[in-house]
Structure 1
Amino acid sequence: MSDDNFFALPAFKPAEALVQLKRQLRDLKLTERGHRYELDGQAVVEVMADDSAIEARVVKRPARTPEWTVQRLGASTEVRRFLDTLKTQLARWRSDE
């Protein structure tokens, strides 16, 4: 009996991952405004989920009219990598103030 899926990762559930991602964004001291998160009154992150993935938009740098980069997160590892990158960016933005 061959069980090829023995070590398979569990299926990615975007709705559940979005709840956890939002909690982690609040833990980073970002202000939540619906699906948008702000740093010092300026939008820096937007997150939304569909049936297969989370769409995350991050500003290149905080500004009144920001330039956004879009990422599609379709696995837990991508969500963790997104958060790690965002933490680095937030630290840099906060130190620039």
Structure 2
Amino acid sequence: MIVQLTREELVVTRGHHTRLQSPLAAISYVDVTSDDVMIVEIPCCDVTSWRNSGVLTQFSCAPKNSSYQTPGFHDYEVSQIGIDIVKELWSLPL
């Protein structure tokens, strides 16, 4: 199921900068259900992190002197904290 996010649904977390997360991005990997894994969230403007089929993704931070997006690659990346969990999810027997 593909879900288009709206600004009203976003979770605001505060740190050094204000970040907007999707409702599923605010959930820890332990609490993600099998129904949540079936959802592909499409982020709206200003969203910094969301889930794509259960995988936490975020906009990559680009240095000032680089282009916004590398040609041929998506402009988001898997969160470094979630790499080990993603590897476990991909290695599960079907």
TM-score of the superposition, structure 2-length normalised? 0.26
Which one has the bigger helix percentage?
1
Q: Which has more radius of gyration?
A: 1
Greater RCO (Cα-Cα under 8 Å, separation 6 or more): 2
